[in-house]
Structure 1
Amino acid sequence: MSDGFDDWLDRVQAFYGDLARNNTRDWFEPRKDAWKRDIEGPAKLLAEIMAEEIARISGDAHRPKLFRIHRDVRFSKDKSPYKTMLAMLWAPPGGGETAPAFYFGVEPAATFVGCGMPGLGKDGLVRYRAMVDAHGDELAGLIAASGGRLADIGPEPLKRVPKPYAPDHPHGDLLRRKALALGLPLPDDWRDAGLVPALTARIERLLPFRDLLVRQL
């Protein structure tokens, strides 16, 4: 059953696929108004709707954020001006670096519904590693039960398990990480229920993972 976002997601994937092949201002500028009307506008509405859904199922308020299409190329060798995916995020107001956020990303040929922390500073890493050491079995079990995968986001993992933890720590792979995000794509049959119910169902699958992070961090 359509909730009005089926055609929108198709438009998003088609547009960003074209943009990936024509990532220039000359190509984008004549299409900017159509992008704002047909893609950015509905994306903002979806972000607001899902903020209410996430608050309902999690019990905590979440603030929506739609990421801008322009890339920051100041320190990048890749000077392509635009991002070739649409992304939005929901985070608890006032949450620090260890407060997990929910995420939805749409690429030309893939989707990603995720939850986690995209990067941890010094204090956050200390707390995160202590959590992995004390609750690693539970964390690994929740990751496996979700059916999702750990995303390759944020800084590169360390090559070795950090001290003071043993080099052969049973959860060394998690200890080496400087960011933690778990995600999975929309199901193949997401159109049967509609995008909002499908997104909500995916986020519900990630809630036990999120709740552990909230409790222990």
Structure 2
Amino acid sequence: MWPNGFLNITSRGRRSESQVYLTFDDGPDPRFTPSLLDILAQHQIKASFFVLADACAAYPELVRQTAEAGHDIGIHSYSHAHPWRLRQAEAREELHRCYHTLANITGNPPSLFRPAYGRIRPATLQEARALQLHTVLWNRSVIDWGAWGTLAGVSRRLAALKPGDIVLMHDARPDTNRPETTLTALQSFLNTDKAASLEFSGLSHLTKKRFRN
């Protein structure tokens, strides 16, 4: 049975508004996250980062740098273990450990949660609700991994963004080293007229309106 309030999940913003929500998973990564932060700062864009707590523990200054730049930082998991392959207690603990790691590093409790691999289950939704987290998925992925994660492919999918899109991207990948392609495609896209016609916001802009605990 799904827990009460499980519908407090969103995967898309409002088409009637101009905002696009860029989100980046699996960081922080000292090879790629600093360059991404520079790109976002150059274009005065706020984004949302869903981080792995084991990486946060290794690079706490990078987490603080991201927060101080005004970006949203949300929970992804502790180790990126697949939620469906864990016992309920283990799945809850992945979320719980990430929550407290982030709170200790930034000095502020996180408010956003995206499950690893986007796979939801009642145990983690219950834990997220207990921690007063808003669960956010996505409706558009640039598919910046695997055989489709080419520069041409990522660039084409970025060019198709529409208002209201929550966009899945990566500034790190546990299983590949492709974020340099993402950064190149993103920098090129943000210099286009299409990007100039959009307004980019962090997810807190959306969740503060949509969710009421």
TM-score (norm 2): 0.26
**Rg (Cα) greater in structure:** 1
Q: Which structure dedicates a bigger proportion of its chain to helix? A: 1
Question: Which structure carries more relative contact order (alpha carbon 8 Å, separation 6+)?
Answer: 2
